[in-house]
Amino acid sequence: MNRRALLKAGLVAVPTAAAVTAGGVGRWWAGIDITTAGRIRFVNRLAVPPLARSERDAEGRRVFDLRAAPGRHRFRPGRPTPTWGINGPHLAPTLRAARGETVLVRFRNDLPETTTLHWHGMHLPAAMDGGPHQPVEPGATWSPTWTVDQPAATLWYHPHPHGRTAAHVYRGVAGMFILDEPDPPALPHRYGVDDVPVIVRDINLTDGNRLDERERSQGGVGIVGEHVTVNGTLAPYLPVTTQRIRLRLLNASASRIYRFGFASGRSFALVGTDGGLLAAPHPTTRVQLSPAERAEIVVTMRPGEQDVLRGLPPDAGLNFWDRRLTGGDDILDILQLRAAPRLDPSPPVPDRLAEPPRVAAPGTPPDRTFRLAKYTINGRPMDMNRIDFAVAHGGTEVWEVTAIDGTPHNFHVHDVQFQVLSVGKKPPPPHLRGWKDTIHTPPNVPIRIAMRFRGHPDPTNPYMFHCHILNHEDRGLMGQFVVTPEGRLPRSAAAPSHHGH
């Protein structure tokens, strides 16, 4: 398929003047800013990941069967692309469970490589976490079980094998995990109708339609893709049949930061972040998500109207080159919303949604500080055999995290949802006032987060904390902690490493 045919199909990212004057260096454009604003013909109906089937076992547990395997997925005309997926060729079904339920996942790895499956944002025992210490060999199975004990939220799941996370996620192993609670506020909730997952991933395709895994960008963040997919669909449109639609935005990209907004500039209601609903809806025109962050938004449409969800240049505090080389100047059309001529009524967004987090008071001094750089935390790279510290079971801690090397980073902590106490010297802005498990860390801005380690002491199995730019994580921007009864490291503070990274 030649470039013209692709252009006709609306699938070519057009380099802007900057790239063209850089001397027609062709493929190098991925390191240069691109804009697809107004240039995509939205010809493909948005795929919605199926809800995973589950059954109740004799013990009353909700049981899911997941099988990861290679497959082929059609991103665009021409050859199908070799991909990985769970229970299908690409991406993974949406899991759904309610607070108080016990979940059992029977996971089988039929990929050609050892992988893991991590429940991002979930509060659960470390042995069930699916981090790098729970490898699943090809042909093997792993059956984690835990009881859901946290507010309704949009979580997700993805592989976490040490050093290989970027590749496994990029090939397509990623899905949503929606948690419910009894008596939710009156928000749109019909899955795939007015409550729709929006899993955003950027990819590069070779001329032969293979996933291009080369790091084309010079910015040190790994793959920056020129094509943005939603739920695995390129150039997608979503038919809207109700006055209001709830979009569960998940940035499942390896490294891009998206500042989502609409082409029309319309305002929408931000109703939830990583770990649950906000106390009240926040009306805004933009919401920025770094890798792994989520946002739930409610968009109000008029009959017959169309609009485009767009990724605008993020506000990431980077210098010119770091910004340019990490895709930070790009403008990307992502998803078209097409409202039907008649729309079913939706209730207004309630004024009150949830209890806000109250873990610690704003001025609380930090118990620990973390300095992030490529590719270390506090000067040390990840070591599978080193547990960095222990926290006390049931205790509350305040951590201060600062990115110190001027390049893009964020910070994710396993097992907990945290409260953001401050960003620099300021109180958190409205979009950071709800539960979070991942937060963007702009250069040299200390961020204080507070969390409570309320369950599952285990002196041997660690939880991870890391930058979720997957290339950074893979290269060592990660550490591990254990939760112990006293908050002290066991005498031999070595993690039960299964393999010798």
Give me the residues that bind Cu ion (CB under 5 A), please: 120, 409, 414, 467, 469, 472
Contact partner at residue 409 from ligand C2O, Cu ion, none, CB < 5 to 8 Å by partner kind: Cu ion
By CB under 6 A, is residue 414 in contact with ligand C2O?
A: yes
Encoded one letter per residue, x for contact with ligand C2O by CB under 6 A and - for no contact, window 460-479 reads: ----x-x-x-----------
Residues 141-180 that bind ligand C2O (CB under 6 A): 158, 160
Q: Round to whole Å and give the CA distance between 39 and 336.
A: 12
Contact partner at residue 451 from ligand C2O, Cu ion, none, CB < 5 to 8 Å by partner kind: none
CB 467, CB 376: distance < 8 Å = no
Q: Round to whole Å and give the CA distance between 402 and 368.
A: 11
* Sequence-ordered alpha helix ranges (H) in 74-188: 165-170
Strand-strand pairing, 332-344 and 236-242: parallel
Min CB(49)–ligand C2O separation in Å: 17
Chosen residue from 90, 227, 374, 412 binding ligand C2O by CB under 6 A: 412
Q: Round to whole Å and give the CA distance between 245 and 262.
A: 14
Which residue(s) pair with 262 in the sheet?
Answer: 309
Strand-strand pairing, 478-484 and 389-392: parallel
Region at 424 (left for phi over 0; alpha for psi -120 to 50; beta for the rest) = left
Contact partner at residue 466 from ligand C2O, Cu ion, none, CB < 5 to 8 Å by partner kind: ligand C2O
Encoded one letter per residue, x for contact with ligand C2O by CB under 6 A and - for no contact, window 330-369 reads: ----------------------------------------
Please, which residue, 171 or 414, has the CB nearer to ligand C2O? 414
Encoded one letter per residue, x for contact with ligand C2O by CB under 6 A and - for no contact, window 248-287 reads: ----------------------------------------
Indicate the helix (H) or strand (E) that contains 86.
Answer: strand 81-86
Is the Cα torsion angle 71, 216, 334, 277 positive or negative in sign?
positive
Coil, helix or strand at residue 20: helix
Residue nearest to ligand C2O (CB): 120
CB 420, CB 436: distance < 8 Å = yes
Chosen residue from 76, 90, 96, 118 binding ligand C2O by CB under 6 A: 118
To 5 degrees, how large is the angle CA 325–CA 326–CA 330?
Answer: 95
Min CB(340)–ligand C2O separation in Å: 36
Min CB(478)–ligand C2O separation in Å: 8
**Could you give the C-alpha distances from 159 to 138, 164, 471, in angstroms and in order?**
13, 9, 14
Tokens of 456: 């599952």
Q: Report how many residues bind ligand C2O under the rule CB under 6 A.
A: 10
By CB under 6 A, is residue 382 in contact with ligand C2O?
A: no
Tokens of 182: 């009894």
By CB under 6 A, is residue 292 in contact with ligand C2O?
A: yes
By CB under 6 A, is residue 203 in contact with ligand C2O?
A: no
Contact residues toward ligand C2O (CB under 6 A) are 118, 120, 158, 160, 292, 412, 414, 464, 466, 468
